[in-house]
Structures are given as C-alpha cells and as structure tokens.
Amino acid sequence: MSEEQERVVIPDEQGEEHLFDILFTFDVDETERSYMVVKPVEPDNDTDDQEEEVYAFRFEEEGDDFNLFPVETDKEWDMIEEMLNTFVEEGHV
C-alpha cells in the first residue's frame, strides 16, 4: 500500500508556478520555527540523473494555508542538511 505524496505549488521569481513533492516537514522547538523540504515533481533535465535537487523553506501556517520564507542562516541550513541526511539514511529517498 503506497502513501499518497503531498504536493505544493510554488511560484518562481517570474511568477511561473511549479509543482513540488513535500519530502518532509519538521519543527524546531527552541526557535518555534517550522521547515519544509521539497523536490520538483518534474525533474530538471539540466541536472545529472544521479542527483535530485531538493529545496528547503521555513514556513508559517495560517489556518489551512501557509507562507514560505527563504532559509536565512548557516545554522538553519546545517540543521536542514542534518535532517535531510537522516531522511535519506532511513531510506525515504
């Protein structure tokens, strides 16, 4: 039995919308911030087939909606990278 993948539409700088699979989300209790890691549904033909590009965002929920924000600090990136490595090691990707 397979679990249906959650998806999100994210516009780029030009306003063009792109569909992404949500790999996982996590909360950091100390900072009270939430993060989302996503990958494009349609792979980028310009990238090497061995590497899948993933993106990370900080997000804030507002009812049924949420807002995405860029990750701003190296500390946040280090934490996201550690979570992504764990996710991969556990065989989710």
What digits encode the pLDDT tens for the residues 32-63?
A: 999 999 999 986 665 555 577 899 999 998 88
Q: CA dist 89 to 36, 68, 82, 86, Å?
A: 18, 26, 11, 5
In a domain, 59, yes or no: yes
Q: Give the number of other CB atoms < 10 A from CB of residue 13.
A: 5
In a domain, 15, yes or no: yes
Q: CA dist 70 to 37, 76, 90, Å?
A: 12, 10, 26
Alpha helices in the chain (DSSP H): 74-89
In a domain, 49, yes or no: yes
In a domain, 1, yes or no: no
The total number of structural domains in the chain stands at 1
What digits encode the pLDDT tens for the residues 8-32?
A: 999 988 999 999 999 999 999 988 9
In a domain, 19, yes or no: yes
What was the pLDDT predicted at 59?
Answer: 94
pTM: predicted TM-score of the whole model, two decimal places = 0.81
Predicted confidence band of residue 79 (pLDDT cuts 50, 70, 90): very high
Amino acid in position 31: T
In a domain, 23, yes or no: yes
Domain ranges, residue 51:
7-89
